[in-house]
């Protein structure tokens, strides 16, 4: 739900930027000369460097540009779609929507709505949604403004509008899923209602329409003219009224969370020591101050004694109009307003004194979303600026001339800004709500889940100075301002990135800063004082840490002396530390990793009794929590006192507690008290640590789960039962000994946060418990991760209470327990199987005979139907060149040379194998007469009588039978859950490395059209010394190398291995494919690493005792490969286009279609098997021939219509198929049997 709004708002900002760059030649320039630096492009294009850098950052966040270590940019394949965006789309910015809704503009939106329904003629759903944003956002805001999305018995949806407008908007609403047509009446859906309720989420973006309409001038022209004020002093680049409305709507959530910090102050005793004043710098219209007053008055101890201990509100703002508005808002409350600038807090104090306030130490300072909107003041501390220049800051800030402010300059300006505030902050502290930018790689990773793509862009264009959350935190720490962590909040709460922070800062007698190279002597001295000689890091190692990860090493400073330091590096995963040695740890550093490894924490011995180690640790953990893309913090620590207990195993020692129930060992206890869990013991980690017998203790801080636990309520250690191995993370409710109900409740409470948890009620709607759209997005992600599922974006529209969610998942668990890893048909279902086979005979085409074929139409009992049951994807069965190649081959070889390949091979075999080898890029292949013969011959040969086959439960039936045959001959056959790498890894881990292990998978799964994550399979196979055996029957001929936005399937059709840019031999993949699909030829093949392997495979019993493939098949395959070289890309483009159209239109009708790669096997879910006979009869009447997928091929409640699309199908035939599906939907709707959207299976381990 929120994902779709994010896409609309992304597009509203990104599309004009893209078009301006295209018009100026940015993409053309980079295509010709990349990589290029910012300065090179600015010089070539005459761009405004600051604004242009904002645009480049946006394009990098879309992954249209890549940036190398020298900060030079290159185009990626994704950028090619820019050519498909129509220039006239920008007309949507200036359409008179208000007049249109009044019926004065005729069919103003007709052509735009038609293009939206056609997905803007794009094959890219993301970009289609982006373009929809330009159409939808102005319309949505106008409809919301006039309450035109209301729907009731008395007033049907859109009924107050003219018939023309009703007709146009009705079509759009049906297309977007905002409305349904029931008995001829348009009714709003839950999705439509949600969009209406969240319309103001788009208001801030829409308020920048004037600026976006002139984005070409912003980037390449007279940018100053865009930001000038008019004669009345009003801003020209923004609709400030709309901006204020949108900001107010979105900020309410954060204002509510501010209450907890306010109450922490005004519930403290004694009351006389509480603040006497609350000052809001940048008070706006005074709404926040009024809300704070009401919180204190009605919810706090101070509120009961306001007469005895009065409180005064002080609103400070630079804008005179804001001060007048605040005066009106606070008219009935004790208050003062005065003009002030956030950049000059000392002047504010002087103004307060002029108004009779001579005790500024009694002020509590608050402010919201203002620090990034201050005026830029150039930094004055040149030495600090010079040190900071070496830190790789990512923020992009623009000065008032449109030029780029170097990131380190802006950060130093921020530090000095906060330093000025540190001089006026007193014992009552400073509460700050602030918004932050994200690095481009993090934006791209969470594109649908964050607002940053569009928000960072329009903030940057309008000279607002966003920095990352951790940069803001560090800037405050460098001047002695630190957040009270128990009151700190970040948004989103659970995702590994931070857009907004709420911090209650207080002054402390120390500072924390990045460690610079100039600190090296002091750091070496600190190391000497903290560690025995055999365990010290060398000067070289400390320098390496500072140079490789300059923002990951912090120092704690008191009175200009370095008292402590903490070092870290970024690694790929916790598992990377398994079996590693201390000397190898530096090699694990990777800048793009998602795990931070703490390397050391040192505090001068004479300061260790002050608790500064705890302070530095907790600050570092919060700093890491705020960093985008970071999932957890780990470390390998040691025990201080194990040397006195070495007679017992380390594991037993780690369980010992003192009288205070704390871990006996102070070092390990230090980490556990801070929230760490013990993940395991690494043997021989550091041999020189003789006190610990060389062992290291692996610990992990789970940053994302920490939101559930306050510092005083942290979990105890989680000890692994086996020395020398790691504790695997639990991946399901059952593994954590939690019921589904417990887990769902825990996830909901986590998203609600401590302040709102009292509102939890099992039967209460989530929205009524205070969860907003962002909370629901976080809840969706949490449930997906914890339960191993995928949920639709509209899941919570139907399952909108905790009870409904729990019931749904409990039902899924029951279904999984009933069907988990069952063979395709078991004995308990024999009666149902027979019944369904009988029922299949009633489906029209099952028992009838095809008597004629014309193109993709076939004649059955005098009835012409369109063939969507053929898997001849490339249409080669009808291709003239293929048919012409068969007679000459028959003349030469006859119909069927009868000798087996053990005796001799017809040369045509060798020709085909050579051509297939060239296409795939492998040394050799071996052709079999059929893929079933290949499977049942090769798999038992590979495993022998002692191997183990690990088979995906959804793999082809012929693979299943071949595995059963191998099992009969002595191998083991173990099935794992479909595409579940965790389940597979768990099973692989039970077998020794030297045992033969074969992982059997499909390329494209024929019943679901999904892919395996082949690179991940390769990684797992190498880890467990296993071989991958892939049957790519439905991928070969369709998918191929170098996929891009222009060629989503990739090129050449040379299969899934090349699609993922993997290597057959190096990655231990045996690749199998039949030629009966894409190449319409009765034969199959598998890859061979060399002639020796091929000879071995030729000894398979099905190769020895089977005759050769028919000559006609071998000739048609060879001719097909030639056609593929000449016409293949054109054919695949046609297939993709037709498939994409059918899939998107079927979804638009309402069907669930699990085909996100748009491969030409389209399964349209019908649901209950009892309706399939009538559904197929209806399709028959519409002239459609499909493959019905019913039990036992699929579960009883997952019956589907399988459409196979070929290059020989036409656009008109696809349109007829869509028409027939609409009829099917109407039939199911009348029967009240519409298929519910089935979420993917729960509890995948």
Q: What is the pLDDT of residues 961-1009, one digit of tens each?
A: 899 888 888 888 999 988 889 889 989 988 888 889 999 999 998 777 8
Unique residue bearing structure tokens 């060149």: 881
Residues 188 and 49 both lie in one domain: yes
Residue-wise pLDDT for 831-880, tens only, equals 343 344 444 445 555 556 888 888 889 998 788 999 998 888 999 988 99
Residues 170 and 277 both lie in one domain: no
CA 1137, chain centre distance (Å): 26
Unique residue bearing structure tokens 């007309």: 91
Identify the sign of the CA torsion 1140, 1145, 1147, 1151: negative
Structure tokens at 799: 């399952």
List the domain range (segments joined by +) for residue 807. Answer: 740-817
The CATH number covering residue 806 comes to 1.10.1200.10
**C-alpha distance from residue 1058 to each of 76, 639, 1037, 1049, 1186 (Å):** 19, 49, 12, 11, 30
In our burial notation (b when 16+ CB lie closer than 10 A, e otherwise), range 661-678 reads: eebbbebbbbbbbbbbbb
| Cα distance between residue 1079 and residue 1093, in whole Å | 26
Helix (H/G/I), strand (E/B), else coil: 1231 = coil
Least Cα distance to 13 among 99, 90, 103 occurs for 90
Contact 339, 402 (CB under 8 A): no
Residue-wise pLDDT for 145-179, tens only, equals 988 888 777 788 888 888 899 999 999 999 998 98
Report the DSSP beta bridge partners of residue 315: 280, 337
H or E segment at 637? strand 632-637
Residues 73 and 138 both lie in one domain: yes
Residue-wise pLDDT for 1154-1197, tens only, equals 888 889 999 998 877 677 888 888 998 899 999 888 765 666 66
3 state SS for 393-420: CCCCEECCCCCEECHHHHHHHHHHHHHH
Helices and strands, number each (H, E), in the chain: 44, 35
* pLDDT exceeds 50 at position 351: yes
Determine whether 647 is exposed, middle or buried from the number of CB atoms within 10 Å of its CB (0-12, 13-18, 19+). exposed
The last residue of a domain, from among 368, 388, 414 = 368
The verdict on residue 1204 lying in a domain is: yes
Contact 1190, 1169 (CB under 8 A): yes
The verdict on residue 474 lying in a domain is: no
Least Cα distance to 1175 among 1104, 1228, 1114 occurs for 1228
The verdict on residue 416 lying in a domain is: no
Residues 42 and 159 both lie in one domain: yes
Lowest mean pLDDT among 74-88, 182-196, 528-542, 595-609: 182-196
Structure tokens at 1071: 């690749």
| Cα distance between residue 690 and residue 646, in whole Å | 11
* pLDDT exceeds 90 at position 288: yes
- Kindly state the average pLDDT of the residues 553-574: 96
The CATH number covering residue 977 comes to 3.40.640.10
* pLDDT exceeds 60 at position 1044: yes
Residues 935 and 1049 both lie in one domain: yes
Residues 960 and 1035 both lie in one domain: yes
Backbone angles phi, psi at 597, to 5 degrees: -100, 120
Beta strands 277-281; 185-188: pairing state: unpaired
Contact 404, 428 (CB under 8 A): no
Determine whether 833 is exposed, middle or buried from the number of CB atoms within 10 Å of its CB (0-12, 13-18, 19+). middle
* pLDDT exceeds 60 at position 820: no
Residues 908 and 807 both lie in one domain: no
The CATH number covering residue 255 comes to 3.40.50.150
Residue-wise pLDDT for 34-66, tens only, equals 899 999 999 999 999 999 999 999 999 999 999
What percent of the chain lies above the pLDDT cut of 70? 91
Strand segments (E) across 15-82:
65-67, 73-75
| Exposure of 173 in the CB half-sphere (CA atoms within 13 A) | 29
Report the DSSP beta bridge partners of residue 613: none
The verdict on residue 634 lying in a domain is: no
Backbone angles phi, psi at 864, to 5 degrees: -80, 130
The last residue of a domain, from among 306, 333, 368 = 368
pLDDT of residue 1105: 74
Identify the sign of the CA torsion 438, 439, 440, 444: negative
Say how many C-beta atoms besides its own lie within 10 A of residue 529's C-beta: 13
What percent of the chain lies above the pLDDT cut of 90? 59
* pLDDT exceeds 50 at position 711: no
pLDDT of residue 945: 76
pLDDT of residue 1195: 65
Cβ partners under 8 Å of residue 1029, min gap 6: 939, 942, 998, 999, 1000, 1001, 1069, 1070, 1072
Identify the sign of the CA torsion 689, 692, 696, 697: negative
Contact 972, 999 (CB under 8 A): no
Report the DSSP beta bridge partners of residue 992: none
Return the ∠ at Cα 685 (arms to 681 and 688), rounded to 5°.
Answer: 130
Identify the sign of the CA torsion 283, 287, 289, 290: positive
Structure tokens at 411: 């950060």
pLDDT of residue 524: 97
DSSP code, position 1118: H
* pLDDT exceeds 60 at position 830: no
Contact 513, 557 (CB under 8 A): yes
Residues 972 and 1030 both lie in one domain: yes
Lowest mean pLDDT among 155-159, 822-826, 1043-1047, 1048-1052: 822-826
| Exposure of 692 in the CB half-sphere (CA atoms within 13 A) | 26
Residues 918 and 1057 both lie in one domain: yes
Contact 545, 597 (CB under 8 A): no
DSSP code, position 376: P
Residues 253 and 209 both lie in one domain: no
Contact 424, 348 (CB under 8 A): yes
* Alpha helix positions (H), 267-301: 287-299
Structure tokens at 606: 């004479």
Torsion of CA 327, 328, 334, 336, to 10 degrees: 0
- Binned at pLDDT 50, 70 and 90, residue 816 comes out as very low
| Cα distance between residue 680 and residue 562, in whole Å | 33
Structure tokens at 522: 């002091």
Contact 1163, 1147 (CB under 8 A): no
Unique residue bearing structure tokens 């300006």: 413
The verdict on residue 1120 lying in a domain is: no
Contact 254, 368 (CB under 8 A): yes
pLDDT of residue 1235: 66
Residue-wise pLDDT for 476-510, tens only, equals 999 999 999 999 999 998 889 999 999 999 999 99
- 46 sits in the region (left: phi over 0; alpha: psi -120 to 50; else beta) called left
CA 600, chain centre distance (Å): 32
DSSP code, position 538: P
Unique residue bearing structure tokens 């598992």: 575
The verdict on residue 421 lying in a domain is: no
Structure tokens at 805: 């969610």
User: How close are the terminal C-alpha atoms of the chain, in Å?
Assistant: 27
- Binned at pLDDT 50, 70 and 90, residue 917 comes out as very high
Say how many C-beta atoms besides its own lie within 10 A of residue 310's C-beta: 10
| Cα distance between residue 1186 and residue 1201, in whole Å | 7
pLDDT of residue 395: 93
Say how many C-beta atoms besides its own lie within 10 A of residue 249's C-beta: 15
* Alpha helix positions (H), 788-829: 795-798, 802-819
**Helix, strand and coil percent figures for the chain, each rounded to 5:** 50, 15, 35
The last residue of a domain, from among 1082, 1109, 1136 = 1109
The verdict on residue 594 lying in a domain is: no
Helix (H/G/I), strand (E/B), else coil: 596 = strand
| Cα distance between residue 841 and residue 837, in whole Å | 7
DSSP code, position 105: S
Altogether, the residues listed in the chain come to a count of 1245
| Cα distance between residue 1209 and residue 1138, in whole Å | 8
Specify the number of domains making up the chain.
5
Report the DSSP beta bridge partners of residue 557: 511, 562
Report the DSSP beta bridge partners of residue 1161: 1204
* pLDDT exceeds 80 at position 903: no
The verdict on residue 157 lying in a domain is: yes
H or E segment at 998? strand 997-1002
Long-range contacts of 335-340 (CB under 8 A, 24+ apart): 335/286, 335/289, 336/312, 337/283, 338/314, 340/281, 340/316
Residues 17 and 63 both lie in one domain: yes
| Cα distance between residue 779 and residue 494, in whole Å | 9
Contact 1165, 1152 (CB under 8 A): yes
* pLDDT exceeds 50 at position 264: yes
Residues 5 and 122 both lie in one domain: yes
């Amino acid at each position: 739900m929120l994902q779709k709004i994010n896409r609309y708002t992304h597009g509203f900002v990104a599309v004009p930027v893209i078009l301006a760059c295209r018009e100026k030649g940015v993409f053309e320039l980079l295509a010709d000369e990349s990589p290029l630096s910012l300065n090179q492009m600015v010089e070539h294009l005459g761009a405004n460097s600051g604004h242009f850098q904002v645009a480049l950052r946006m394009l990098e966040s879309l992954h249209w540009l890549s940036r190398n270590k020298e900060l030079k940019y290159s185009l990626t394949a994704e950028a090619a779609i820019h050519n498909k965006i129509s220039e006239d789309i920008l007309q949507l910015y200036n359409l008179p929507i208000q007049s249109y809704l009044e019926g004065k503009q005729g069919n103003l939106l007709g052509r735009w709505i038609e293009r939206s329904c056609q997905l803007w003629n794009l094959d890219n759903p993301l970009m289609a949604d982006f373009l929809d944003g330009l159409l939808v956002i102005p319309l949505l805001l106008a409809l919301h403004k006039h309450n035109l999305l209301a729907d009731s018995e008395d007033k049907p949806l859109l009924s107050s509008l003219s018939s023309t407008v009703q007709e146009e908007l009705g079509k759009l609403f049906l297309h977007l899923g905002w409305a349904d047509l029931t008995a001829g009446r348009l009714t709003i859906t839950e999705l439509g209602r949600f969009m209406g309720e969240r319309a103001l989420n788009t208001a801030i973006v829409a308020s920048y329409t004037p600026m976006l309409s002139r984005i070409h001038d912003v980037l390449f022209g007279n940018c100053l003219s865009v930001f000038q004020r008019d004669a009345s002093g009003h801003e020209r680049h923004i609709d400030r009224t709309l901006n204020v409305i949108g900001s107010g709507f979105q900020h309410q959530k954060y204002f509510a969370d501010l209450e907890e910090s306010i109450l922490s102050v005004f519930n403290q005793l004694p009351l006389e020591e509480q603040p006497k004043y609350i000052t809001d710098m940048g008070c706006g219209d005074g709404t926040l101050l009024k809300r704070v007053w009401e919180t204190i008055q009605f919810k706090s101890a101070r509120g009961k004694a306001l007469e005895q201990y009065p409180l005064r509100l002080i609103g400070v703002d630079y804008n005179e109009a804001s001060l007048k508005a605040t005066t009106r808002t606070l008219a009935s409350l004790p208050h003062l307003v005065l003009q002030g600038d956030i950049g000059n807090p000392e002047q504010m104090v002087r103004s307060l004194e002029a108004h009779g306030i001579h005790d500024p130490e009694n002020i509590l300072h608050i402010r919201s979303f203002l620090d990034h909107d201050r005026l830029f003041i150039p930094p004055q501390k040149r030495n600090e600026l010079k040190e900071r220049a070496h830190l790789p800051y990512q923020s992009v800030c623009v000065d008032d001339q449109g030029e780029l402010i170097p990131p380190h300059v802006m950060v130093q300006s921020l530090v000095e800004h906060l330093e000025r505030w540190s001089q006026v902050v007193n014992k009552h502290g400073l509460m700050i709500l602030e918004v932050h930018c994200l690095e481009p790689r993090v934006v791209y990773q969470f594109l649908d889940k964050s607002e940053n793509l569009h928000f960072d862009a329009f903030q940057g264009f309008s000279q607002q100075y966003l920095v990352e959350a951790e940069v803001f935190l560090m800037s405050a720490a460098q001047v002695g301002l630190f957040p009270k962590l128990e009151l700190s909040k970040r948004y989103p709460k659970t995702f590994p990135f931070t857009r907004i922070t709420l911090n209650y800062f207080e002054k402390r007698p120390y500072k924390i800063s990045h460690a610079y190279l100039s600190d090296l002597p002091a750091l070496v001295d600190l190391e000497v004082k903290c560690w025995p000689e055999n365990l010290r890091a060398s000067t070289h190692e400390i320098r390496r840490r500072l140079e490789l990860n300059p923002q990951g090493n912090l120092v704690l400073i008191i009175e200009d002396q370095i008292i402590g330091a903490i070092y870290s590096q970024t690694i790929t995963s916790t598992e990377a530390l398994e079996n590693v040695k201390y000397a190898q740890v530096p090699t694990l550093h990777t800048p793009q990793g998602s795990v931070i490894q703490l390397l050391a924490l040192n505090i001068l011995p004479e300061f260790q009794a002050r608790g500064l180690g705890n302070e530095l640790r907790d600050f570092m953990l919060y700093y890491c929590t705020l960093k985008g893309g970071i999932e957890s913090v780990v470390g390998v620590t040691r025990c201080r006192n194990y040397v006195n207990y070495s007679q017992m195993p380390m594991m037993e020692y780690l369980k010992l507690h003192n009288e205070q129930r704390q871990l006996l060992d102070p070092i390990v206890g230090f980490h556990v008290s801070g929230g760490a869990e013990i993940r395991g013991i690494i043997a021989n980690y550091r041999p020189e640590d003789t006190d610990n017998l060389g062992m290291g203790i692996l610990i992990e801080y789970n940053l994302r789960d920490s939101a559930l636990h306050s510092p005083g309520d942290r979990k105890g250690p989680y000890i692994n039962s086996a020395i020398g191995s790691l504790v695997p993370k639990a991946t399901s409710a059952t593994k954590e000994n939690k019921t589904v109900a417990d887990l769902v409740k825990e996830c909901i409470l986590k998203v609600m946060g401590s302040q709102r948890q009292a509102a939890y009620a099992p039967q209460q709607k989530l929205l009524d418990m205070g969860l907003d759209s962002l909370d629901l997005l976080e809840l969706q992600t949490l449930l997906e991760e914890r339960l191993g599922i995928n949920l639709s974006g509209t899941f919570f529209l139907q399952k909108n209470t905790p009870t409904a969610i729990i019931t749904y998942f409990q039902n899924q668990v029951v279904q999984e327990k009933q069907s988990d890893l069952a063979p395709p048909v078991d004995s308990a279902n024999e009666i149902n199987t027979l019944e369904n086979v009988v029922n299949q005979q009633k489906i029209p085409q099952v028992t009838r005979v095809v008597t004629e074929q014309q193109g993709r139409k076939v004649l059955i009992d005098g009835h012409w139907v369109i063939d969507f049951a053929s898997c001849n994807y490339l249409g080669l069965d009808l291709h003239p060149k293929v048919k012409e190649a068969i007679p000459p081959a028959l003349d030469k070889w006859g119909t069927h040379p009868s000798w087996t390949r053990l005796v001799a091979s017809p040369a045509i075999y060798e020709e085909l194998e050579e051509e297939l080898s060239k296409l795939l890029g492998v040394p050799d292949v071996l052709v079999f007469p059929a893929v079933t013969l290949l499977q049942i011959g090769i798999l038992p040969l590979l495993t022998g009588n002692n191997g183990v086959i690990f088979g995906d439960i959804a793999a082809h039936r012929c693979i299943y039978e071949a595995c059963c045959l191998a099992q009969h001959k002595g191998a083991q056959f173990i099935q794992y859950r479909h595409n579940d790498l965790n389940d597979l890894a768990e099973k692989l881990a039970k077998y020794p490395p030297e045992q033969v292990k074969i992982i059997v998978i499909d390329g494209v799964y024929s019943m679901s059209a999904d892919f395996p994550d082949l690179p991940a399979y390769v990684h797992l196979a190498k880890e467990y010394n296993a071989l991958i055996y892939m049957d790519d029957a439905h991928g070969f001929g369709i998918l191929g190398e170098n996929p891009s936005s222009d060629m989503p399937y990739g090129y050449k059709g040379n299969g899934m291995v090349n699609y993922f840019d993997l290597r057959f031999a190096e990655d231990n993949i045996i690749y199998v494919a039949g030629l009966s699909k894409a190449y319409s030829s009765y034969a199959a093949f598998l890859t061979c690493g060399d002639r020796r392997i091929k000879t071995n495979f030729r000894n398979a019993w099905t190769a020895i005792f089977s005759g050769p493939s028919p000559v006609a098949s071998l000739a048609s395959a060879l001719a097909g490969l030639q056609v593929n070289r000449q016409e293949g890309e054109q054919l695949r483009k046609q297939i993709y286009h037709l498939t994409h159209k059918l899939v998107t239109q079927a979804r638009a009708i309402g069907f669930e279609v699990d085909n996100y790669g748009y491969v030409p096997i389209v399964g349209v879910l019908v649901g209950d098997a009892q309706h399939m006979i009538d559904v197929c009869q209806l399709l028959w009447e519409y002239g459609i021939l499909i493959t019905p997928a019913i039990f036992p091929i699929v579960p009883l409640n997952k019956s589907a219509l399988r459409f196979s699309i070929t290059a020989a199908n036409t656009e008109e035939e696809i349109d007829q198929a869509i028409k027939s599906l609409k009829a099917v939907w109407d039939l199911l709707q009348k029967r009240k049997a519409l298929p519910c959207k089935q979420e993917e299976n729960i509890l995948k381990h």
